[in-house]
Amino acid sequence: MALHALSTIDSVRTKEQVADMHFMEARSKLLELAAFLDRVERATGAPDYRIKGLQSALPLLLKGGTERVATILHHWSDPTINPADKAETKVASGVWSGIK
């Protein structure tokens, strides 16, 4: 099936316009992430696989292209194919526990 995205509005939007609209929000989220990583660093105990998973995605932010979100979501996804024999838990943690 052919997909129809909204419009060509992106191509008429300038980088400055996007920054005017969303820069402060993105800046604030980056600082929140930095603060979170500092907080983790100050804490005691063994490393947490979720934090490792989060950190392993950071280099993907610096790659070019327009698919960063999808790339990161794929990176965090369970790569297995077959159904699990049973559920060990009902919840998902946000990153696949097997990420190296």
9 binds other proteins (CB under 8 A): yes
Q: Which of 52, 91, 97, 100 is nearest to 77 (CA)?
A: 97
Cβ atoms of residues 52 and 94 within 8 Å: no
Cβ atoms of residues 37 and 56 within 8 Å: no
49 binds other proteins (CB under 8 A): no
Of 44, 65, 85, 100, the one binding other proteins by CB under 8 A: 85
Residues forming contacts to other proteins in the complex (CB under 8 A) are 1, 3-7, 9-10, 13, 21-22, 25, 66-67, 69-70, 73-74, 76-81, 83-96
